[in-house]
A and B are shown apart, each in its own frame.
Chain A
Amino acid sequence: MATKDVKINDPMRDPVTGENRVIAPGHTLRSVTEKISRIVLTSHTPLGWFGGIMVASGVATLLAICVTWLFLRGVGIWGITQPVAWGFAIINFVWWIGIGHAGTLISAILLLFKQTWRNSINRFAEAMTLFAVVCAGMFPLIHVGRPWLGYWLFPYPNTMNVWPQFRSPLLWDVFAVSTYATISVVFWYIGLVPDFGTMRDRAKSKVGQYIYGMVSLGWRGSVRHWVRYETASLLLAGLATPLVLSVHTVISFDFAVALLPGWHTTIFPPYFVAGAIYSGFAMVITLAVPIRKFYHLEDMITIRHIENMGKVMLTTGLIVAYGYSMEVFMAWYSASHWEYFMMWNRMFGPMGWSYWVLITCNIALPQLLWLRAWRRSPSLMFLMSLIVNTGMWFERFVIVVTSLTRDYLPSSWGTYKATRWDYGTFVGTLGLFTVLFFLFIRFVPMIPMQEIKVLLPQSKVREEAEPLPEAGD
């Protein structure tokens, strides 16, 4: 990691190790609290925030309209048809769930691996997870033909004496996603408790004190509290870690378990997980770059963060690329006519364009991340994050739609054309996500204060026995 050409005067570099700093020098415990809590506790909401949430709410209203019409008329307002019975709804579901994964990875796995650079992006990455799960979780419910009976997917005791059908991957989805949502909420909330305590103490308004007082659950910052807090965090991180791998694995089973050429493949679980993290990190960058600019948080979300995330994207992107190439290889190597035709159709069939969009966005362009300069440029990384998320959306499109358009019986081949309601619903969820995020940055400290403080030199002083080089890690 170390680089030789250290510019001595660069404040963002550690003069000892030559590494990029996780946090800019000069911050004190007070300044950190000051800086982060001010965003929330200010009585002066920036106009930009209002403007942003208004636009986002407008877009979210589109979702409300689309879903209302959907419930009134039925899923036929979408482009789904025979043979493509799953369309945007499932694509969006997988896409959103995938995006959520980065948050969990950052908050859980990187915590376990003691990657302290994660601290400053942890909170909002996890908020992103939550909101992505909200958007994702909506789709399985609204995409069914009779959404008012969606609860039949849950194993609950009922007078009909019927259980769900446990062989169905959709049922596994229900468990996977609901578990994931629950753990994510709890983990996020536990992490917020000490910060809510701080907010309670610093809030000037009665309402603020009251609400933050309620949600801080009587946090006093005693050592006993901190011990329990740390234990809980570790335990939850331990619980959440397998979820990072399992949730998307289960979702990939929706496809992998099916008989359909293009779905029926064992490579899906790992490449779905890698793809999820890939798109999730892209989304973190999409969010982090404007926020750090707008709220002047360059000190806490530093170039180091951006660059690290670029590296993660590069790695997961390569795993995904390996997955794609294996699909192509197996189509040939399996000598299965179905696989061979599926791959030919995916590349050169009537919807072949979508495959090449996917390859361009997910494999070709992200190779630019090998360039250090690219990784260190927030604006270029922002651009790359948009490209990758487009690519990842198309990955799901290719898997879901292209495979379905031409399957076993040539008589049943068809096509798929999304309607305005499909687009409206998708764009609407982007709006909903953004609204939730705006609310989050306004009312919740978006960077965990107590975790940032851990990174300050002040907090290291007490650990004199520790060897110094690990401090910045």
Chain B
Amino acid sequence: MSMLPEKENQNQMSASEPGQRLTLEEVRAKLKGQTGKKYWRSLDELADKPEFGEMLSREFPQQASEWIDPVTRRGFLKLAGASMALAGVVGCTKQPDEPIYPYIKQPEDLVLGRPVYFATAHPFPMGALPLLVKSDAYRPIKLDGNPEHPMAHGSSDAMTQGTLLALYDPDRSQHILYRGETRNWPVFQAAFRGMLADKKASGGGQGLYFLSATVTSPTLAAQWKKAQASYPNAKFLQYEPVNRDSAYAASKQAFGDYLDAQYKLDQANVILALDAEFLSGIVHPGFNKLAGDWAAKRKLDGTDEMNRLYAVESWTTTTGLKAEHRLALRASEVGPFAAAILAQLNGGAAPAGYSWTDEQQKYLAALVKDLKANAGKSVVIPGEQQTPEVHLAAIAINQALGNAGKTVVYTETVNPMPSIQGDDLKTLIADLNAGKVDWLVIMNTNPVYGAPVDLDFITAMSKAKHTVHLGQYLDETGNVAEWHINGAHYLESWSDARSYDGTVSIIQPMIDPLYGGKSEHDILQQMLDDPDTSAYGAVRATWKQQLSAKGDYEFNWRKALHDGFLADTAFPAKSVAAKNIAVNVSAPAAADSIEVIFRPDLNLYDGRYANVGWLQELPRPVTNLSWDNAAMMSYGTLDKLKVEESDVIEISVNGSKVLAPVLAVPGHADNVITLTLGQGRRNAGRVGSGMGFNAYDARTSSAPLIAANAQVKKTGNKFEFAVTKSHYIDHRAMYAGGDGSGTHSLEGNETLTRGIIRYATLDEFRKDPDFAHQGEGHDAPEPDTSMFASYRYDKNAWGMSIDMNSCVGCNACIVSCYAENNIAVVGRHQVKVGRNMQWLRIDTYFEGDLAAPRAHFQPMACQHCENAPCEQVCPVGATVHTPEGLNTMVYNRCVGTRYCSNNCPYKVRRFNFLLYSDYETESLKLMRNPDVTVRSRGVMEKCSYCVQRISAAKIAADKGNRQVRDGEIVTACQQACPTSAITFGNINDRSSKVAKLKAQTRSYGVLEGNNTRPRTTYVAEVLNVNQELAAALGEGSPQQNG
């Protein structure tokens, strides 16, 4: 071992000849079978070879062998000194030059405290969301939609916002593991490439299987295509528990090809959602665009025309609740209902074999009439979690109405390698069980957790000879895989993705991988001739041709990075006609049998975000359930099953069982139990493990969407939900202020009585545009009735207007607020007690019979009252009025009497009852917005109208010696909103957007009667009710109800 210097020389020599590289595997192979003296001789022989030295130095880069010698003092000191020096050298290792171009807001250089913005995209199976990332000192601290991108117009959604926390999650996997022991990338590379070399030589990759998450990256597809040339028999399969199988299957049948449907809601007057949650989040492809276009036609800005939404759905979604007319049907009835629509459109009678109730028939008739009247200007959207038949029916209806080509066009799929994922998985399991799989590489998906329970993935997986798992977490799959490669977050790695319209975004990393994670590109690259080409190189290679075609490649590349997308890469509409559209729907199960439907969780999706505290704590829309999941059902089903809310029941379906607590949901279809996926994780991390129950336990491959004939058994146990807002039934008799029905929500009734929610039908609005101010107590008192003098605002007076017509209750604003304002996550128990810290919440009120309610979503944050009750009662003056009319909290001054909270009629103040903010976890410190204080224990906090953003804009304006421009200040909630429901600005400026909104007749303040004079006002909702249908169903108008 004293021949180190020579060895190093040899290393240098050998390094120039990459072909002769030796791997550890090969060394092992050569030594295999040798024992005793022979072993040592072989080892000596090997050791003399230069390749061995090279291999050794790769394995032990710090020349660790030195330590085997007895350490002399001199030797030790030399080594110690060298390590010090080397540490510096390693630290200065020249990273490959992968410049990120250019800044959106160009600073001269990095100015600390001054954020810079970069464009990237969040790859999501339903289509990527283009992003503009705020980076402070090169740490991404806020994600927002790319305002220039045609799909999102700057909006985002709850899950995308949550991925920021996922980046800094301290529970992320930080090492490559081999059977639980730490390894490094070269070791894996050696093993993997060794295998690949064998496979390539024999059988063209036979026995090599990839199981990937849904592919959205064209580069990944290109890499695979290239790899397949050398490995024709290797298989690349995709499986995610939530997938687009139904849509793909239907389009395959109708068009003979996998196509994506793009709905143009800006041209649709009548929209029918068939169990489609297109307003509820990116669980529906193209959500941001759909929601934005839908809302744009409801602004009543200079027009009194609106679109109309019908929703037929089985569980209660925000989409359904925003509909003018909602019909709750069992999921298995939606198909027959769609078939009935199609039949009536075509002039025939509804298909026999199923009898609709009176109410359903009336709904059907009115709907068909309305659709017909708006032929070519209507659209039917099928739900992703509905059966292929429903999708097929939607294609047929759109075709029959002449909508195809107008309000709906068909394009290539976002997924460059579309497949029916359920079949993919079945193929894999069959091959696994047949022993055909040597190497199974699972990339960014978690089948051990999410695969259908009847396929028994974990047993099948154990039959693969070797398994590799790439993922950001050491999750259920990573735990049983032989190799676990810690994955890179999308903000850490290069890639590309298409948004749902096909526009390509380059995903550029915002930060060096925190834990050296690898991406799927790195894995696939191993199969190619240049395994060390980084993802950066791969992505550049993919777009080289296309970008070079339009001029200078480098220039165009930089422009693409700067813009965040490649212009004009949206898919062109395909002129296809549906051919095979005979809709054969299977009859639904007997009406009184219980069916179970599985839906992706609106916060956690399929479980991938289970360890994101923001998303766990975020109250789900409609139910306001945080932290857990539930067996959701209607009040009627509750009675039928003789269970109560919070009872734990055992649901048996298709031979599998799951224990779930019951939660009643207003408007839920009867005889249906909705189970949301994504909870009950065992290896999610500290936040997500053990929350809720695992609905996958009841999900079989034959019935991944709707499972009929479920059996329900009471267990006698109870489970207390962490619900941020409960629904009380109004049991008051008429004389006590109630309506005597006993089926309405107490809050709903009270809310309307109190004028908190005001709305009208479109006809009523046309007749009386001032409807929001009619009625008792609906007018604000004169400004001078206060004891205290009014403030004067000479320059700016900030205010906010929220359009109740546009708000779809999707929660994007809340998570955006989390990120912007460093809001703490408090945990399930604290939420249960009622101490959730969200500054902004979406109040959901159910009006009318809870079996078929109308709902109202009202975003509620600090109203910044002119005459603020909180300011008057704070004994230390910790909450004060600014000269621009903000009601500000001075955290430093707050002693925590909580009097302000008691006196706040809006109850928007949040108190740090305990030390909620995490002061310990290092990675979370990187995430925090440096402009916002991290609040300690005992301090009150609340919405500040994003005062840090106001200050930033004012400083910028001062520097330019100008006024702050309208629209220059965008609050975090406003920025995230997909429907532009929130407008912020200077109300002193008569021409500002917010001042104009406040001047609208529909504008009103909540609880104005208290003379609080809130700065946030609401634009009352107007519903484009189909009068005929309302009359047929005997629904009263809001004025009568209210």
Mark A residues whose CB is within 8 Å of B: 73-77, 79-86, 143-147, 149-150, 152-153, 162-165, 167-171, 174, 254, 257-260, 337, 340-341, 344, 348, 404, 407-415, 417
Which residues on the A side are within 8 Å of B875 (C-beta)?
153, 164-165, 168, 170-171, 174
Is B833 at the interface (CB under 8 A from chain A)? yes
Contact A74:B938 (CB < 8 A) given known A81-B913, A165-B877, A170-B873: yes
Which residues in chain B, 150-195, are within 8 Å of chain A measured between CB atoms? Answer: none
Taking Cβ atoms with an 8 Å cutoff, the residues of B that contact A are: 725-726, 728, 732, 736-737, 746-748, 750-751, 753-754, 756, 777, 788, 830, 833-836, 841, 843-845, 858, 860, 869, 872-877, 893-899, 901-903, 905-907, 909-915, 937-940, 1006-1007, 1010, 1012
Judging by beta carbons under 8 Å apart, are B835 and A81 in contact? yes
B912 pairs with A145, CB closer than 8 A: yes
Q: List 30 A-B contacts (CB under 8 A).
A: A74-B912, A75-B938, A82-B835, A82-B836, A83-B834, A83-B901, A83-B902, A143-B897, A145-B937, A146-B895, A150-B895, A153-B876, A162-B876, A164-B877, A165-B875, A257-B873, A258-B899, A258-B903, A260-B905, A337-B754, A344-B736, A344-B737, A407-B905, A408-B906, A410-B751, A411-B747, A411-B858, A412-B843, A413-B725, A413-B747
Contact yes or no, B913 A80, CB < 8 A:
yes
CB pair A168 B899 closer than 8 Å: yes
With A and B bound together, what is the CA distance between A161 and B209 in angstroms?
A: 72
Give, as a whole number of angstroms, the nearest-CB distance from B1006 to chain A: 8
B902 touches A337 (CB 8 A): no
Q: In the assembly, what is the distance between CA of A144 and CA of B913, in Å?
A: 10
B834 & A259 in contact (Cβ 8 Å cutoff): no
Q: How far is the CB of A254 from chain B (nearest CB, A)?
A: 8
Does A82 lie within 8 Å of B907, measured CB to CB?
A: yes
Distance between A118 CB and nearest chain B CB, rounded to angstroms = 36
The residue that B903 contacts in the complex, of A163, A260, A337, with Cβ under 8 A, is A260
* B894 in contact with A145 (CB, 8 Å): yes
State the CA gap A80–B914 with chains docked (Å).
Answer: 11
- Give the complex CA separation of A144 and B893 in angstroms: 13
Bound together, the chains give a CA A344 to CA B728 distance in angstroms of: 15
**B895 engages A75 (CB within 8 Å):** no
- Total A-B pairs in contact (CB under 8 Å)? 175
Given the interface pairs A409-B1007, A415-B834, the reply to whether A76 lies near B913 with Cβ below 8 Å is: yes
Query: In the complex, A163 Cα to B736 Cα: how many Å?
Result: 47
What is the predominant secondary structure among interface residues of chain B facing chain A? Answer: loop
Cβ 8 A contact of A169, one of B753, B873, B940, B1010: B873
B901 touches A82 (CB 8 A): yes
Q: A81-B834, A85-B902, A170-B875 are in contact. Are A411 and B725 (CB under 8 A)?
A: yes
Residues of B within 8 A of A152 (CB): 876, 893, 895
Partner of A75, one of B726, B841, B913: B913
> A23 vs B13: C-alpha distance in the bound complex, in angstroms?
117
A259 near B895 (CB under 8 angstroms)? no
Cα A258 to Cα B182 with chains together (Å):
61
- Complex CA–CA separation, A146 to B907 (angstroms): 21
Chain A residues within 8 Å of B750, by CB: 341, 410
CA distance A164 to B841 in the complex (A): 32
Q: Hey, which chain B residues are within 8 Å of A85, CB to CB?
A: 898-899, 901-902, 911
Picked from A76, A167, A169, the residue with its CB within 8 Å of the CB of B914 is A76
Least CB separation from B841: chain A residue: A411
Nearest residue in B to A82 (C-beta to C-beta)? B834
Give the residues in chain A near B833, CB-CB below 8 Å: 79, 81, 417
Cβ contact within 8 Å between B873 and A82: no
Q: Within 8 Å CB of A258, what residues of B? A: 869, 873, 899, 902-903
Among A76, A344, A408, point to the contact of B835 (Cβ < 8 A).
A76
Q: Contact: B843 with A409, CB < 8 Å?
A: yes
Question: Are A76's CB and B873's CB within 8 A?
Answer: no
Residues of B with C-beta under 8 A to A82: 834-836, 901, 907, 909-911
- If the complex has contacts A169-B873, A258-B869, A259-B869, are A74 and B915 also in contact, measured as CB distance less than 8 A? yes
* Residues of A contacting B748 in the complex (Cβ-Cβ under 8 angstroms): 410
| Assembly CA distance A348 to B730 (angstroms) | 12
Q: Are B901 and A145 in contact (CB under 8 A)?
A: no
Which 6 pairs of residues, A with B, have the shortest CB-CB distance? A145-B896, A145-B938, A76-B913, A410-B747, A76-B914, A411-B843
Q: How far is the CA of A410 from the CA of B744 in the complex (A)?
A: 14
Chain A residue numbers with a CB within 8 Å of B858 are 411
B1007–A144 CB distance below 8 A? no
In the bound complex, what is the Cα–Cα distance between A77 and B894 (angstroms)?
19
Within 8 Å CB of A162, what residues of B? Answer: 876-877, 893
Query: Which among B836, B906, B937 is the interface contact of A409 at CB below 8 angstroms?
Result: B906
Minimum CB distance partner of A77 in chain B: B914
From the candidates A74, A254, A407, name the one contacting B913 in the complex (CB within 8 A): A74
Is B746 in contact with A410, judged by CB distance below 8 angstroms? yes
Return A381 CB to nearest CB of chain B, in Å: 37
B345 to chain A, nearest CB (A): 41
Given A81-B913, A409-B756, A409-B860, answer yes or no on A146-B938 (Cβ-Cβ < 8 Å): yes
Task: For the complex formed, measure the closest distance between the CB of A409 and the CB atoms of chain B, giving whole angstroms.
Answer: 6
Chain B residues within 8 Å of A86, by CB: 898-899, 902
**Nearest chain A CB to B592 CB, angstrom units:** 34
Centre residue among A162, A170, A412 by max chain B CB count within 10 A = A412
Q: Give the Cβ gap from A244 to chain B, nearest Cβ, in Å.
A: 24
Given contacts A165-B877, A341-B750, contact A410 B845 (CB under 8 A): yes
Say how far B65's CB is from chain A's closest CB, in angstroms.
52
Residues from chain B with Cβ under 8 Å of A165 in the complex? 874-877
Given A85-B911, A415-B834 in contact, is the A74-B873 Cβ separation under 8 Å?
no
Q: How many whole Å from B775's CB to the nearest CB in chain A?
A: 12
For residue A76, which residues in chain B have a CB less than 8 angstroms away from its CB? 830, 835, 913-914, 937
In the bound assembly, the distance between CA atoms of A77 and B830 in angstroms comes to 11
Specify which chain B residues have a CB less than 8 angstroms from the CB of A337 in the assembled complex.
737, 753-754, 777
Given contacts A409-B1007, A413-B747, contact A144 B897 (CB under 8 A): yes
Q: Closest residue to B903 on the A side, CB-wise?
A: A258
Contacts A81-B835, A145-B913, A410-B845 known; list 20 others, CB within 8 Å.
A75-B913, A82-B907, A144-B896, A144-B938, A146-B939, A152-B895, A171-B875, A257-B872, A258-B899, A259-B1010, A344-B732, A344-B736, A408-B906, A409-B860, A410-B747, A411-B725, A411-B844, A411-B845, A411-B860, A415-B834
* B1006: A residues at CB distance < 8 A: 409
B910 proximity list for chain A (CB < 8 A): 82
A81-B834, A340-B737 known; A408-B914 Cβ under 8 A: no
* Contacting residues, chain A, for B1010 (C-beta < 8 A): 259, 408
Task: Tell me if A74 and B914 are in contact (CB < 8 A).
Answer: yes
- Give A168 to B896 CA distance when docked, in angstroms: 14
| Minimal Cβ-Cβ distance residue in A for B936 | A146
Q: CA of A337 to CA of B778 in the docked complex: distance in angstroms?
A: 13
Give min CB distance, B809 to chain A, whole Å: 12
Nearest Cβ in chain B — how far from A408, in angstroms?
4
Residues of B within 8 A of A169 (CB): 873
Q: Which partner residue on chain B sits nearest A400 by CB separation? A: B902
Query: Chain B's nearest CB lies how many Å from the CB of A457?
Result: 54
Contacts of B843 in A (CB 8 A): 409, 411-412
A83 touches B877 (CB 8 A): no
Cα-based distance from A340 to B737 in the complex (angstroms): 9
> Which residues of chain A have C-beta atoms less than 8 A from B777's C-beta?
337
In the complex, A74 Cα to B751 Cα: how many Å?
34
**Shortest Cβ distance from A157 into chain B, in angstroms?**
15
Please, which residue of chain B has its CB at the minimum distance from the CB of A81?
B834
Shortest distance between the CB of A341 and any CB in chain B (Å): 7
Q: Which of B872, B901, B907 contacts A167, CB < 8 Å?
A: B872
Closest chain A residue, CB of each to CB of B745 = A410
Chain B residues near A259 (CB-CB < 8 A): 869, 903, 905, 1010, 1012
Residue from A79, A143, A150, A341 in contact with B737 in the complex, judged by beta carbons closer than 8 Å:
A341
Residues from chain A with Cβ under 8 Å of B751 in the complex: 410-411
Q: How far is the CA of A162 from the CA of B1007 in the complex (A)?
A: 32
- Which residue on chain A has the smallest CB distance to residue B1006? A409
Write out the residue numbers on chain A whose beta carbons fall within 8 Å of the beta carbon of B732.
344
